[in-house]
Homo-oligomer: A and B are copies of this chain.
């Protein structure tokens, strides 16, 4: 770097990282600072076309301090979680040479160089769709590339974990397990890929973003309170989850949808059960969440075998995993029947993501929604209730790939000359 002093340069990397949804839940830490969990967890990575974070990271001798912009707005990097990630990555940075640009950064230079980070979610941050998981995974993945960190993906996952626990699972596509590990320093608390996204590619995922009037307990403080006060959480972590992890790995390996669905639903419900067993109790699901569960349970029972799995994170949104495109179309019909949009909402903005599912469901406009017949599992003697406006919108998506580098400079979020947001 010394030899280049005086000459202006900015080195930049842009990456895209998916979000993920746990099907065996992470809830409860054994180490708050290192973010070490009390049990293993398993997740499905979601298709980044519909839900992802894009992050550009840049370095330049002209940068005077580390800065970050999230969705265009500057935010502070002084929080412990950002600092942990930056420190761990700087400690592993290697020499970088760009002959074309005439840049050379030694391992030692990284100690003094500052970075700029710009991050953008292609979905509403506040919608409770695991934005911090994708965000920290993308931060770590892109900085590791920029800094020429030579650790493998699993080691990187242990760094992302220190930003946000579930972020470690976003470093892989497909089906991912976060191994809780045993070491005190957290070095073996890493994510591993169980199977890539092509292993089981007929699954279709519909996310119901549920309107909520309540401010939710953050998952950080929620899980701390659960560990401190629930009389059931240790039994869950020690006795229940280990068995479910084995069964879930087996179900994924064999593409055994009934087992996958049974385990996903049971584990989601148990996670919310231990939240309720917390003092004061934590409620993430609301009446709309309950109604979505009832709708799925009724249908699954009617068919005699699970058509759809449901899982809910720390909020009221439902993540519904369908066996295949056909069941996804049937599910979407049911969802639109029970939860039609408000009259001022356009169907095109009510069902987003992979709109071909809407076509498969034979729904082209609001008239088709209004014409939907009650599903056969609803008994004729019960008047069917509709809950207009209780769902904000639906996202149709599927399991997806892990992080990728974006080489097309027009996708970068920072100006390649100034290193400031475009």
Q: What is the interface of chain A, defined by CB distance below 8 A to chain B? A: 213, 231-232, 235-236, 239-240, 262, 265-266, 269-270, 272-274, 276-281, 283, 286-287, 290, 293, 297, 301, 385
In the complex, the answer to whether B283 meets A277 with C-beta atoms within 8 Å is no
Could you tell me the distance between the alpha carbons of A206 and B290 in the complex, rounded to whole angstroms?
27
Residues of B within 8 A of A240 (CB): 231-232
In the complex, the answer to whether A277 meets B286 with C-beta atoms within 8 Å is no
Can you list 14 A-B contacts (CB < 8 A)? A213-B385, A231-B239, A231-B240, A231-B266, A232-B235, A232-B236, A232-B270, A262-B279, A269-B279, A273-B273, A280-B297, A283-B290, A283-B293, A286-B287
Residues of B within 8 A of A231 (CB): 236, 239-240, 266, 270
Q: A268's closest neighbor in chain B, by CB?
A: B281
Residues of B within 8 A of A280 (CB): 293, 297, 301
How many copies of this chain are found per oligomer? 2
Could you tell me the distance between the alpha carbons of A121 and B62 in the complex, rounded to whole angstroms?
81
Q: A276's closest neighbor in chain B, by CB?
A: B273
Could you tell me the distance between the alpha carbons of A41 and B270 in the complex, rounded to whole angstroms?
23
In the complex, the answer to whether B269 meets A277 with C-beta atoms within 8 Å is yes
Could you tell me the distance between the alpha carbons of A162 and B273 in the complex, rounded to whole angstroms?
30
Chain B: minimal CB distance from A387 (Å): 10
Could you tell me the distance between the alpha carbons of A281 and B236 in the complex, rounded to whole angstroms?
17
Residues of B within 8 A of A281 (CB): 269, 293, 297
Q: A269's closest neighbor in chain B, by CB?
A: B281
Residues of B within 8 A of A385 (CB): 213
Could you tell me the distance between the alpha carbons of A215 and B73 in the complex, rounded to whole angstroms?
47
Q: A235's closest neighbor in chain B, by CB?
A: B235
